[in-house]
Amino acid sequence: MKAKARANNITSKKCAFCKNWYDPANSAIKPCGTITWEYDMEMKCMCRVKKVLKKGFQSCSQFESKI
């Protein structure tokens, strides 16, 4: 079972919402309202800035929103 969480797309700086987190299909995120999104906390993708695999719930100072 995949771990899911909800986040506000304005204040959340999670990797799942970052344009540097390589998820071209955006399969880790799903809208759940006007400003709330559901995301897969455990999905791993490559960070194009840090060059490492990062999970969706992680964050860093290089965050750039893709929403």
Average pLDDT of span 46-58: 96
For position 2, what pLDDT does the model report? 56
d(CA 11, CA 26): 19
Tell whether 41 is covered by a domain.
yes
The 10s digit of each residue's pLDDT in 34-46 is 778 888 999 999 9
Is 24 inside a domain boundary? Answer: yes
Instruction: Name the average pLDDT for the chain.
Output: 86
Q: pTM for this structure?
A: 0.82
* 62 found inside a domain: no
Residue 48: domain span: 4-55
Percent of the chain clearing pLDDT 70 (strictly above) = 87
Residue 25 lies in a domain: yes
Residue 64 lies in a domain: no
Is residue 8 domain-resident? yes
- Cα 10 to Cα 42: distance, rounded to the nearest angstrom: 21
Total domains, the chain: 1
